[in-house]
Amino acid sequence: MSIMQLNGGSVVAMVGKDCVGIATDMRLGNQALGISSEFQRVFPLTDRIYYGLPGLATDVATLRERFRYRVNMYTIKEEREIEPETFAHLVSSTLYEHRFGPYFVEPVIAGLSKTPSGGLKPFIAATDLIGCLNFAKDFVVAGTASEKLFGVAEGLWEPDLEPEDLFETISQTLMNAVDRDAYSGWGCTVHILTKDQVITRTLKARMD
């Protein structure tokens, strides 16, 4: 039994055309026993950044508190909102601070970053449990269903998806991946970030 698989749960993020999506399942378990089907592991950070923390549930809560504190301090000191790239590095350094006694989570970050011309550019990133960053141009996956997510996402994702098409792609990717994983599933939440709104939808899933 690995501590990374104790509670179960998976997160996937994808890039679209001027939008990004981040989706997660809602299971909280204790090994094979399901405890809750309403567990949240994707959180909003600013209006333009969402992040997910699949892994050990106690560290999900602890890191959420830590990130909120560190980002609030950043916002006060800098007098501006944090950019997704900066936040990704903040996540990385927070995790690497605990290199030899890590938090058992693999964060996924999705956001829209400002370009010098004033536009918005989709951004996604993921790290491992000690903060090794992975900037991807297409999609990132993490959690107990990550192998399955890689397979389905590789098959379904294509460049320049519009928000509604991205929603369909990311939802199908997640739902089909978690149905093959005993430790993930029990409902899904999908967030699509566009330049003027965030679309959040809850999906019904298999309950077995």
Partner 1 sequence: MECSFALTGKDYVIVAADTTAARSIVKMKIDEDKIKELSPHLLMAYSGEPGDTVNFAEYIERNIRLHHIRHLVPLSPSASAAWIRRALAQSLRSRNPYSVNLLLGGYDTAEDKPKLFWIDYLGTLSEVPFAAHGYGSYFALSLFDRYHNPEGTVEEGLATLKRCIDQVSKRLVVAPGKYKVKIVDKDGVREVEI
CB neighbour list of residue 31: distance below 8 Å, 6 or more residues apart: 1, 5, 6
Find the binder of partner 1 among 17, 30, 69, 195 (CB under 8 A). 30
H or E element at residue 72: helix 57-78
Find the binder of partner 1 among 11, 22, 56, 110 (CB under 8 A). 56
CA 173 to chain centre: 14
**Residue 205 found at the interface with partner 1 (CB under 8 A):** no
86-115 mask for partner 1 (x: CB under 8 A)? ---------------x--------------
With respect to partner 1, which residue has the nearer C-beta, 38 or 78? Answer: 38
Which residue matches tokens 């995790």? 95
> CB 137: neighbour CB atoms within 10 A?
8
**Residue 28 found at the interface with partner 1 (CB under 8 A):** yes
**Residue 177 found at the interface with partner 1 (CB under 8 A):** no
Find the binder of partner 1 among 23, 57, 141, 205 (CB under 8 A). 57
| Torsion sign across C-alpha atoms 158, 153, 39, 46 | negative
Q: Which of 2, 38, 14, 25 is nearest to 145 (CA)?
A: 25
The least CB distance from residue 39 to partner 1, in Å, is: 6
Site for partner 1, rule CB under 8 A: 7, 28, 30, 33-36, 38-39, 56-58, 61-62, 65, 101
